[in-house]
Amino acid sequence: MASPADVVLLPDAGPLITLAYADSLDLLFKPGWSVSLVDMVLFEVTRNQTPTSEKLAQWVQAHQLPVITTNIHVHHQLALASGAVAPRKSNLGELAIQETMNNFALALPPKTGIFLFEDHKIARTSFVLPDNCRKVSTRAFLFFLEQKGWLASATDIERRAIQAGRAFSNLRFPA
């Protein structure tokens, strides 16, 4: 894998929400990778008033995180603006991340992407990843941080999120 500075962490909505519930969003920076959001994921986590939407919007702004523009989000916004048809909502964040990772594979030199997900359905689907990209569950990411000594307890983060009201994925070790 590339050096930490050449790796881009692309969190999906689920991990962002879980870490926001646990007041632990800054854990995303622990490996020293760049953190970017795809526009569709940012839209998903901030479009409605939720227990974490404002916290996430403020965190993104405070860290001036890069937001990657995708055709998926542009198309979704056009569909919303037209009002002609109710636009598709499911899996758009994942599709936007996949679009971004495909673009990473075409870049010269290729960028390394880490897709951080939580939805157990993603672990079991044939989510196509370029060779330079990986998918990692929230739980596996937290255990990675713990193994590296960057986090005292992965279980404590999970417990804090659950105690704050997050329905955390039951999937333990995705295939």
**Residue 92 in domain:** yes
State the residue range of the domain holding 75.
12-163
**Nearest CA among 90, 47, 99 for reference residue 69:** 99
The residues, ordered by sequence, that sit 6+ positions from 42 with a Cβ below 8 Å of its Cβ are 60, 67
**Nearest CA among 171, 161, 173, 163 for reference residue 25:** 161
Residue 153 three-state SS: coil
Please tell me the pTM assigned to this model.
0.88
The tens digit of pLDDT for each residue in 37-96 reads 999 999 999 998 999 999 999 999 999 999 999 999 998 888 888 876 666 677 888 889
Angle separating helix axes 13-21 and 53-62, nearest 10 degrees: 100
Asked if 46 contacts 74 with a C-beta cutoff of 8 angstroms, the reply is no
**Residue 1 in domain:** no
**Residue 2 in domain:** no
**Residue 139 in domain:** yes
Residue 136 three-state SS: strand
**Residue 51 in domain:** yes
The tens digit of pLDDT for each residue in 13-32 reads 999 999 999 999 999 999 99
**Residue 80 in domain:** yes
Which amino acid is residue 108, in one-letter code?
A: L
3-state helix, strand, coil in the chain (%, to 5): 50, 15, 35
At residue 22, φ and ψ (nearest 5 deg) are: -85, 5
Q: How many independent structural domains does the chain possess?
A: 1
109: how many CB neighbours lie within 10 A of its CB?
A: 8
Q: Give me 161's structure tokens.
A: 């999120």
Residue 169 three-state SS: coil
Q: pLDDT value at position 167?
A: 82
**Residue 171 in domain:** no
**Residue 49 in domain:** yes
